[in-house]
């Protein structure tokens, strides 16, 4: 282990933190002398010698993939790509190849890789205080909650560490709300409505709300009492929501993993009314579609309707693990100390990182640029690829777009990767999911469209029946 002391205002090209330059300050020492100082950060760097075999010759990726297969539980069908560094919208693998990142770590890296303000915030906070647990108070957690409350429908926030945990908390809060609101009821409402093609996470409660059977069946019994209804089907949903039985309705305003399906205005507004009528809570899962991705800070802003609970995660802390549950006072008032909690949640480090993200993403100019780039991207995709006979539809909003194909998208994903473009699949594996960093430039979007358009030829080569190596199950 080597300790490096890095002056943040060092402008040398050798300094990877040179973009973080802070002006030198003049301070007085205890003996009264003035002295010019730079802000420094001490970083511990692991010696590269730890993995010497990976530093020699070509084919490092292959070696790492073999290594991984010996020591990790096989839960992921990973793409055969070993990434080592990133800047902006570019990623670099261990063999030195550059990729344009249209996956953002599955809609996480909204500010791209190595955003200088985010990095400076994280390094400063890490050098000051990283974790204290929720036994104590810490200021960044309260500041982040205040920031989220000020910019949303919500009155209060609960922090956790991931999207599935946020939904798990929303499940518990919904049940507790029903119990609290009906104290004389022997059996208050405990059931949930969720929708076909939904994805809410992989822990037992969130998994129970997730529609794809492939994820659920091997782990049954999951939480009972979930009814799945066709997304957008108002009549079927009306029949399913039952007073005294339905505790809450969980819905993504735009389904991400399920194939990039946007709710209609009529559907979300209907859900609001139906929940109110039945005494059920309305939960918007904006883990993937929230926080600027659609060009609105919250995807539901486009629908002139509000939930009782909203769950967030992925991009909130710029790549550090976080989840958040935003609730109205009505919901919060049902929750008592001890009802829920987490050791790691809301740490000073993660919350300070999230504040840096929020400051950029919630800026109206930033959001307007996402909407503008999203329209530009969709238009270019429609111009250049929608004529291909395998392309059924280009859909989505802002910078969360899907291209539905009439065949598996896997060969296209692979061909794009070989040409230096990283994209994802969604739906039944027949949808290309495009979720670039929100900072992407129009020039980079053009580059992505060109690569995609060239790579489409692979669908003509009879390779579309090739084994999936990058299935929808990567979320
Ligand atoms: C809408 C939605 N909800 C919940 C989750 C689960 O989030 P996590 O993987 O952080 O647990 C995801 C993950 O993709 C998601 O897209």
Q: What are phi and psi of 95, to 5 degrees?
A: -95, 5
Q: Is 51 a domain residue?
A: no
Does residue 171 carry a pLDDT above 60? Answer: yes
CA–centroid distance, residue 199 to ligand 1 (Å): 7
Report which protein residue has its CA nearest ligand 1's atom 14: 475
**Residues 426, 258 contacting (CB under 8 angstroms):** yes
Mean pLDDT (the chain, rounded) = 90
Q: What is the mean pLDDT of residues 260-272?
A: 98
CA–centroid distance, residue 287 to ligand 1 (Å): 6
- Ranges of beta strands (E only) in 38-155 are 40-45, 83-87, 90-93, 98-101
Q: Could you tell me the residue range of the domain that residue 73 belongs to?
A: 58-107+365-474
Does residue 11 carry a pLDDT above 60? Answer: no
The pLDDT-based confidence of 230 (bands split at 50, 70, 90) is very high
Does residue 24 carry a pLDDT above 80? Answer: no
pLDDT tens readout for residues 34-74: 554 455 565 554 444 333 344 434 678 899 999 999 999 99
Could you tell which of 163, 426, 473 is best to mutate to test the pocket of ligand 1, judged by most ligand atoms within 8 Å of the CB?
A: 163
Report which protein residue has its CA nearest ligand 1's atom 4: 200
User: How many separate domains does the chain show?
Assistant: 3
CA–centroid distance, residue 37 to ligand 1 (Å): 45
From 362, 382, 401, the end of a domain falls on 362
For residue 39, what pLDDT is reported?
57
CA–centroid distance, residue 165 to ligand 1 (Å): 9
Torsion sign over Cα 306, 312, 314, 319: positive
Does residue 17 carry a pLDDT above 90? Answer: no
CA–centroid distance, residue 393 to ligand 1 (Å): 24
Distances 343 to 65, 160, 295, 346 between C-alpha atoms, Å: 33, 9, 33, 9
Report which protein residue has its CA nearest ligand 1's atom 8: 163
- Are both 222 and 342 inside the same structural domain? yes
More confident residue, 461 or 13: 461
- Ranges of beta strands (E only) in 116-225 are 156-160, 191-195
Report which protein residue has its CA nearest ligand 1's atom 13: 475
Task: For the chain, report the end-to-end CA distance as a whole number of angstroms.
Answer: 34
- Are both 95 and 120 inside the same structural domain? no
- Are both 22 and 66 inside the same structural domain? no
CA–centroid distance, residue 200 to ligand 1 (Å): 5
Q: Is 22 a domain residue?
A: yes
For residue 42, what pLDDT is reported?
59
Could you tell which of 199, 323, 396, 473 is best to mutate to test the pocket of ligand 1, judged by most ligand atoms within 8 Å of the CB?
A: 199
For residue 58, what pLDDT is reported?
62
pLDDT tens readout for residues 371-394: 999 999 999 999 999 999 999 999
- Are both 101 and 157 inside the same structural domain? no
CA–centroid distance, residue 167 to ligand 1 (Å): 9
For residue 372, what pLDDT is reported?
98
Q: Is 409 a domain residue?
A: yes
Does residue 97 carry a pLDDT above 70? Answer: yes
CA–centroid distance, residue 213 to ligand 1 (Å): 16
From 362, 391, 416, the end of a domain falls on 362
Helix (H, G, I), strand (E, B) or coil at 304: coil
Q: Is 52 a domain residue?
A: no
**Residues 318, 115 contacting (CB under 8 angstroms):** yes
Atom of ligand 1 nearest to the CA of 285: 1
pLDDT tens readout for residues 123-156: 999 999 999 999 999 999 999 999 999 999 999 9
Local structure of residue 20 (DSSP, 8 states): G
Atom of ligand 1 nearest to the CA of 314: 10
- Are both 194 and 326 inside the same structural domain? yes
Atom of ligand 1 nearest to the CA of 106: 14
Q: What percent of the chain has pLDDT over 70?
A: 85
Torsion sign over Cα 119, 122, 125, 127: negative
Nearest to 412 by CA among 429, 437, 427, 389: 429
Query: What global pTM score does this model have?
Result: 0.89
CATH classification of the domain holding 216? 3.40.640.10
More confident residue, 469 or 103: 103
Distance, CA of 209 to CA of 251 (rounded, Å)? 10
- Are both 296 and 163 inside the same structural domain? yes
Does residue 474 carry a pLDDT above 90? Answer: no
Ligand 1: residues within 6 Å at CB? 106, 162-164, 167, 199-201, 252, 256-257, 285, 287-288, 313, 475
- Are both 351 and 369 inside the same structural domain? no
Q: What is the mean pLDDT of residues 301-324?
A: 98
**Residues 248, 192 contacting (CB under 8 angstroms):** yes
CA–centroid distance, residue 105 to ligand 1 (Å): 12
Q: What percent of the chain has pLDDT over 90?
A: 83
For residue 46, what pLDDT is reported?
47
Could you tell which of 165, 201, 431 is best to mutate to test the pocket of ligand 1, judged by most ligand atoms within 8 Å of the CB?
A: 201
For residue 60, what pLDDT is reported?
87
For residue 26, what pLDDT is reported?
55
CA–centroid distance, residue 262 to ligand 1 (Å): 16
């Amino acid at each position: 282990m080597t300790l490096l002391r890095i002056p943040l205002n060092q402008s040398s090209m050798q300094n990877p933190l040179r973009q973080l330059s802070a002006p030198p300050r003049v301070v007085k020492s205890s003996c009264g002398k003035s002295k010019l100082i730079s802000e420094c950060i001490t970083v511990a760097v692991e010696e590269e010698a730890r993995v010497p075999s990976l530093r020699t010759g070509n084919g490092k990726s292959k070696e790492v993939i073999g290594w991984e297969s010996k020591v990790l539980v096989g839960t992921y069908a990973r793409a055969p790509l070993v990434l080592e560094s990133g800047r902006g919208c570019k990623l670099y693998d261990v063999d030195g190849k550059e990729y344009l990142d249209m996956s953002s770590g599955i809609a996480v890296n909204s500010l791209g890789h190595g955003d200088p303000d985010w990095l400076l915030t994280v390094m400063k906070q890490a050098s000051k205080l990283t974790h204290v647990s929720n036994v104590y108070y810490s200021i960044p957690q309260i500041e982040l909650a205040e920031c989220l409350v000020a910019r949303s429908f919500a009155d209060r926030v609960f922090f956790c560490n991931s999207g599935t945990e946020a939904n798990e908390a929303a499940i518990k809060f919904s049940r507790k709300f029903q119990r609290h609101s009906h104290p004389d009821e022997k059996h208050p409402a405990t059931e949930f409505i969720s929708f076909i093609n939904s994805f809410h996470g992989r822990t037992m409660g969130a998994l129970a709300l997730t529609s794809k059977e492939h994820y659920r069946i091997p782990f049954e019994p999951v939480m009972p009492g979930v009814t799945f209804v066709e997304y957008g089907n108002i009549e079927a949903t009306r029949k399913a929501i039952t007073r005294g039985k339905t505790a809450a309705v969980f819905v993504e305003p735009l389904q991400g993993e399920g194939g990039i399906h946007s709710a209609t205005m009529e559907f979300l507004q209907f859900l609001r009314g139906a929940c109110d009528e039945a005494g059920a809570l309305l939960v918007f899962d904006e883990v993937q579609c929230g926080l600027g991705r659609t060009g609105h800070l919250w995807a539901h802003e486009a629908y002139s309707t509000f939930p009782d609970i909203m769950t967030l995660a992925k991009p909130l802390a710029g790549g550090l693990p976080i989840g958040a549950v935003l609730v109205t006072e009505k919901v919060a008032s049902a929750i008592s100390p001890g009802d829920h909690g987490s050791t790691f949640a809301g740490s000073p480090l993660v919350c300070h990182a999230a504040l840096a993200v929020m400051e950029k993403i919630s800026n109206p100019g930033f959001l307007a640029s996402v909407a503008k780039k999203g329209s530009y991207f969709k238009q270019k995709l429609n111009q250049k690829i929608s004529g291909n006979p395998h392309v059924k539809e280009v859909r989505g909003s802002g910078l969360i777009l899907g291209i539905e194909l009439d065949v598996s998208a896997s060969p296209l994903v692979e061909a794009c990767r070989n040409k230096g473009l990283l994209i994802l699949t969604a739906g039944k594996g027949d949808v290309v999911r495009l979720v670039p960093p929100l900072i992407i430039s129009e020039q980079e979007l053009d580059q992505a469209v060109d690569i995609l358009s060239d790579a489409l030829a692979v669908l003509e080569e009879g390779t579309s029946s090739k084994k999936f190596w990058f299935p929808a199950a990567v979320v």
